[in-house]
Amino acid sequence: MNDTLSRLLALSEADGSLRTLDGVLGDLDREETRLRGRLAAEDEGFARRQEENRALRLSALSKSGEVDDTDAKIRVYQHKLDHDIIPYKEMEHLREQVTFLRGRLDVLADEALRRITEADEDDEKLVTDTEEHTGQRARLEGELAALARRRTETLAEREDLRGKRAELLQEVPTHLRGAYERLLGAGGSPVVPVTGGMCGGCHLRLVDNTVEKVRADREAVTCEHCSRFLYLRAS
């Protein structure tokens, strides 16, 4: 393979590697977005879990407060009945209230106990849930850290390759650089092999004269259909 074609091929391979690295960086960006979404969902889910636990505890405290308030009313009413001189009707009313409130106190106490038990059990479960959340968060943060390291390495590799690519471009004859860059901008590889008498880029059959020129390997030969640079693969 002549020097000009070797340089074009090396440049094309460098550009192919750069496209691959750009694809890798794009994949890393998408993976980071996915991981950050999972991390946010994990935090939101755990925040809801904590709020549910707080709601259970507040419900238990509220019901316990009702028990205390009811018990306090019974004590006040009973004290009046035992120590105060009050009209008969008021006395009967207070006795009815005491009877009613004592019955209600039993119901409230049972409900308060049930809610306190639920809250205590949920507190224990929250300990396990917190450990699981902490572990899951650590795993996600570890994946993000590994991804960040890989991005840094890939960026460094791409920067190094860009420098080599600039050097390779300078080695290509000036009159071919513009054609090469136009082909690169159009997509695909600007330098392709001849396979079975056909261009490896557009896959159209080449005229015999073009194939012979490629075999002669004395100059940079282009496809008459797509203008890509052609070469023969080493057997």
Domain count of the chain? Answer: 2
CATH number of the domain bearing residue 88? 1.10.287.1700
115 with 181, same domain: the answer is no
Angle CA 196–198–200, to nearest 5? 105
14-32 core/surface letters (b: 16 or more CB in 10 A; e: else): bbeebeebeeeeeebeeee
pTM: 0.76
pLDDT tens track for 9-63: 999 999 999 999 999 999 999 999 999 999 999 999 999 999 999 999 999 999 9
Phi then psi dihedrals of residue 159, to 5 deg: -65, -40
105 with 49, same domain: the answer is yes
Q: Which residues have a Cβ under 8 Å from the Cβ of 215 and sit 6 or more positions away?
A: 232
Of all residues in the chain, what percent carry a pLDDT higher than 70?
99
pLDDT tens track for 141-173: 999 999 999 999 999 999 999 999 999 999 999
pLDDT recorded at residue 2 = 87
118 with 145, same domain: the answer is yes
| Mean pLDDT over the full length of the chain | 94
**Per-residue pLDDT at 234 exceeds 90:** no
120 with 216, same domain: the answer is no
The residue from 123, 139, 171 where one domain ends is 171
58 with 157, same domain: the answer is yes
Of all residues in the chain, what percent carry a pLDDT higher than 90?
91
Q: Is residue 165 part of a domain?
A: yes
Q: Is residue 7 part of a domain?
A: no
Domain range spanning residue 43? Answer: 16-171
pLDDT recorded at residue 194 = 94
28 with 85, same domain: the answer is yes
CA 185 to chain centre: 32
29 with 139, same domain: the answer is yes
pLDDT recorded at residue 187 = 86
The residue from 148, 171, 194 where one domain ends is 171
113 with 224, same domain: the answer is no
Q: Which residue has the higher pLDDT, 188 or 180?
A: 180
